[in-house]
Structures are given as structure tokens and as C-alpha cells.
Amino acid sequence: MVDLSDKKNWGGSPGREEILSGAFEARAAQFIRDARIPIKPIEERLAIKDRLLSEMATGDDVWVYGYGSLIWNPAFHFAEKRIAKLHGFHRRFVFWSTSGRGSPDCPGMMLALEPGGCCTGVAYRIAPDVVDTELSSIFMRELMTGSYNPRWVKLETDKGPARALTFTANRKHMNYAGRLPLDEVARNMTHAEGGLGTCREYLFNTTEHLLELGIRDSGLETLTRMVRALRAD
């Protein structure tokens, strides 16, 4: 069992125990409400989890696909991880962050999966006996504001295909920004800061951890250079 849930270098991002205990919910609720973003009830988030789990055979391993913060702060226990490619989606900064990594006056931006292209990230296998608890941690965290639509996807890994849960952009969400020019994204991310820390920290963590895994994302690497240059001005 691999446990990366409670490392202390995530810059305000929650750990597994904080999520499952409800402490993160309490911590995040105030700055999310200050940004006037509705919070999806925990019961509703867990019901979505249960519905998706009902679509698979009982006792099977469950895979979860991470493409952003789940790579550098998974906040759940997993038994195995693999580099994985997802066809039909790409990662892009498409959400305004007006609470967690920004504010209403100085919004940052957050990643999501958008249709088209492909994306290389990390697939995590959760053992059958802990699926319910570990997925609860993920769904309580990722669905808090309704920005993401969870769904099953097919992945390619070096050990064969895998069916996994991941989180795609909810284009109907109030903070959905769509596709913006890269220089505008960089400007928005440079100084934004919210209840979970700075937006640039989120970008830098994602880019650096992808590189450590041997994954190249030219868009994120370019954006990182642009934000560092703007910070140096």
C-alpha cells in the first residue's frame, strides 16, 4: 500500500485524513462561500460515487486517472501507479479559480480535461477492499464545487489497457472560462492566491512532477516559463 496522503509540501492542498474527517470541508467552506460558489452536498457527491461504482463488477480493482493535482497530491491510498495515456481528451486551464487558488478580485485558473487530443498522466489502482473509503476521499475533494464531471474512460498503459475514473470539465459551471490565449492565462496565474495557496504553485507543482515522471507537456512547460518571467519583471 502506497500512502502519499499526508505529505507536507502540497502548499495548502488537503491530505487524506483531513478530507475524510471533514476538517477540509470546514476549512474550505468559508473561502468557497466568500466567492459565492455553491457547495455540492457531501451526500450528493458520495451518491455519484456509488452510482459509478455500481457500473463495475463487485470485487474488481478500481483505477483513477490523474492529470493535475492528483499527480502531486493524490490524497488517497493506492496499491499501484502507472504512466497512462488517455485518448480523446487533453488537459487545459479552463476554470477560473476565485477561491482555492485565487480570489474574485484576482482569479487564478485551474486544470480540467477538455475533449480532443490526448493526455498523458498517472493511473492509480485502488485495491478492492478499500475502494469505497478511498474513492470517498477523492469524490469529497474533487466534486465539492461541481466543476468536474466524473466518468469512466479507457487508458493505455505499458502493462495493457485499463478502465479508470477521471474528472472532466463541467462546461456549465459558473467558473468555466473556456479556451483563453496562453498569455492571458499566464497573467491571471502570476499573482493569484486563495485559500489553498498561489495559483503559480499549482502550475509549478504539476509541471515539475510531470517532468519527474518523464512526461512532457509543452503547453504547461511554456506557461511555466511565462509565469516565471512575469514574476521576474
How deeply is 79 buried, as exposed, middle or buried, from its count of CB atoms within 10 A (0-12, 13-18, 19+)? middle
Catalytic amino acids?
142
Query: DSSP secondary-structure letter at 176?
Result: B
d(CA 151, CA 147): 13
Could you count the other beta carbons within 10 Å of the beta carbon of residue 179? 10
d(CA 131, CA 205): 27
Three-state secondary structure string covering 43-69: HHHHHHHHHHHCCCCCCCCEEEEECCH
Q: State CA 47 to chain mean position distance.
A: 20
d(CA 133, CA 135): 6
